[in-house]
Structure 1
């Protein structure tokens, strides 16, 4: 596949190797699918960067190259790894959603980036850095979420669903070990439900200053990340439509 991408851009093996700071013989081994010469993520990124200079590699081909290199699900990305994949355009979209709360999360519920409205709406969530940690370790979550029990169940069932679809259970072990310290989490986890979305988007919130209640429709979307497929979510809270 690497040779096909290179030939399509009329780039010689020597030129590709030089631009990626590799030896031509190493690139030749990769193109011959030498199983003893598996590239690191840094090498694949360097090769793609050189190919992109001539013509952008499509998302499908980019992901396939990572798959062939065995890098799709083997690595366990940190929050910083995932945060680094958010482009300036993705971050700008958070600002455009103001005054509606919006954020990028990983599927373990860590907050990768958010707008100011998100931090105001879910008071204390930025101090915790994680939706799950906020719900089960921060009493402010019970003030912000009028239906705290329901939201806690929905969040845990969503996480169970993501774990069930994941090929790398180890990526979750640290998070689950931490959360197991909280009795409410253990109680809800023992219920055993797994979900893949909210049955209804409506969420009831309590204003931290006035105590007034308001409703938002919380929408959740999977972000198609090339490097870390099925690891990043986009969430936005829109004004709830009046109930009939």
Structure 2
């Protein structure tokens, strides 16, 4: 890798991020030799050299865990560096965190942002549709939904759902198809097993699920809703987005309901 002069100074050519150059940076920042890192991670020094030069394929999860454990012991790794190491090693997280774990990473600023959207509906959900936080308009729009309930359990199991959702039958088929696509994309069917088992208690879900269709959910979709008391209907454009934070990337969803 050559060096060129710029404004009287020498600089190295810029590198795209790789597992090797990130590992080298983290090791250099801690003043630890390849030999010492290798010994404490249970691998050979030559293997560390090959990793840093990009001469080997991606390391296994066990190797990455051993490397990060030792580097973190010297100087704590940031959550961003931990995730970047996993991503560059091709070890995207296959775990589905619990609602409690996800609520623990919701910041006060994120909650304040939900309230800023009033009088429009706004909520934070996980990919299994557990309600993690919401503003008052969201809670009012789905009567009977527990503050920390599950949107799908409400939709298929609460008696008011068919009164609130004008197109309940067609929505049910869409939701089942979206679930199938989401589970496939996540690569972790076991993480959804409990939810499917719980929803299986509702005959309406079993019927929608048995159709076997697959649909990929758009980022914006239309909800036709009804006030179960007054009967007044309204159309809501639901806009979704994933929060790609360092902790539990892609597991948090924002949903904003805008008037149609």
How big is the alpha-carbon RMSD for the aligned residues of Structure 1 and Structure 2? 3.4
CA contact (8 A) 2:131 2:148 kept: no
Q: Any stretches of 5+ residues in structure 2 without a counterpart?
A: 1-21, 49-58
Aligned equivalents of 2:218, 2:98: Cα separation in 1: 26
Pair 68,128 (structure 1): closer, same or farther in 2 beyond 3 Å: same
Pair 44,192 (structure 1): closer, same or farther in 2 beyond 3 Å: farther
Out of 27, 31, 41, the position equivalent to 1:29 is 41
Mapping of residues 1-244 of structure 1, within 5 Å: 1-7=22-28, 10-13=29-32, 28-29=40-41, 32=48, 39=65, 50-52=76-78, 59=80, 61-67=81-87, 72-126=92-146, 129-198=149-218, 201-240=221-260
CA contact (8 A) 2:166 2:225 kept: yes
Q: How far did 1:102 drift?
A: 0.8
Report the number of matched residues. Answer: 222
The Cα offsets for residues 107-162 of structure 1, whole Å up to 9 and x where unpaired, read as: 11111111111100111222671111001111111121111112222222211110
Higher radius of gyration, 1 or 2: 2
CA contact (8 A) 2:27 2:71 kept: no
Compute the TM-score of the two structures, normalised by the length of structure 1.
Answer: 0.75
Aligned equivalents of 1:87, 1:27: Cα separation in 2: 39
CA contact (8 A) 2:123 2:255 kept: yes
The Cα offsets for residues 167-192 of structure 1, whole Å up to 9 and x where unpaired, read as: 21110111111111211111111112
Q: Any stretches of 5+ residues in structure 1 without a counterpart?
A: 15-23
Compute the TM-score of the two structures, normalised by the length of structure 2.
Answer: 0.71
